[in-house]
């Protein structure tokens, strides 16, 4: 793949979005499994994906992939961008449904309980790993897939996601361990 090429075909970003959204879902389900000793399907949607991770990852990919050789800069920028995405997402979700899906009020250096220093550092590290290590691997895997297989997979993922998003626009995934509303 041409290193100078920043913008990729649509299916590149769709597959990257769902890969990162699934990895984010796995991260949070695993984290809550070990902290709360229960399986909790985190997030607004019912499916095994957290779109905030997909959106954040796409932003990092678009903005910082040319900085692959500068991991400390990628770390700092990822920390800032991901914290902004997390803050704005938390604010939007609370405005939309009156519910908080996460609350860092008890964490060191939090801002309105929406973001905290530990989370920001973790996102900075994850962003650095994504841009500097994982994107080159993803690029190779993407190139190995046939165009037909990519198109079919994209279509399937998008149909399932749109159906899930449509349902959850009316009935978001809330409850014990998922949100902080007490529902």
Position 116 scores a pLDDT of: 97
Position 34 scores a pLDDT of: 92
Position 122 scores a pLDDT of: 96
The C-alpha R_g of the chain, in whole angstroms, comes to 17
Which residues does the chain have with pLDDT short of 50?
A: 1-2, 181-183
Q: Of 182, 179, 158, 180, whose CA–CA distance to 47 is shortest?
A: 158
Position 175 scores a pLDDT of: 67
State the residue for tokens 């609350």.
Answer: 103
CB 18 within 8 Å of CB 53: no
Position 180 scores a pLDDT of: 59
Q: Of 42, 52, 45, 49, whose CA–CA distance to 172 is shortest?
A: 45
Position 5 scores a pLDDT of: 61
With a threshold of 0.85, does the pTM exceed it? yes
β-pair partners for 115: 111
Position 183 scores a pLDDT of: 36
Position 137 scores a pLDDT of: 96
Task: For residue 68, give both structure tokens.
Answer: 């692959």
Position 138 scores a pLDDT of: 96
């Amino acid at each position: 793949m041409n290193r100078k090429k920043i913008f990729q075909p649509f299916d590149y970003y769709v597959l990257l979005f769902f890969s990162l959204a699934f990895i984010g879902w796995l991260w949070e389900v695993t984290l809550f499994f070990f902290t709360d000793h229960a399986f909790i399907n985190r997030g607004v949607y019912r499916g095994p994906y957290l779109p905030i991770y997909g959106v954040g990852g796409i932003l990092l990919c678009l903005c910082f992939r040319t900085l692959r050789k500068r991991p400390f800069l990628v770390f700092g920028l990822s920390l800032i961008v991901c914290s902004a995405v997390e803050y704005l997402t938390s604010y939007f979700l609370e405005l939309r449904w009156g519910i908080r899906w996460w609350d860092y009020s008890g964490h060191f250096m939090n801002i309105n309980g929406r973001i905290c220093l530990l989370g920001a550092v973790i996102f900075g590290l994850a962003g650095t790993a994504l841009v500097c290590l994982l994107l080159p691997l993803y690029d190779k895997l993407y190139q190995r897939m046939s165009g037909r297989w990519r198109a079919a997979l994209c279509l399937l993922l998008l149909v399932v996601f749109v159906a899930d998003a449509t349902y959850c626009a009316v009935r978001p995934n809330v409850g014990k361990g998922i949100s902080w509303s007490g529902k």
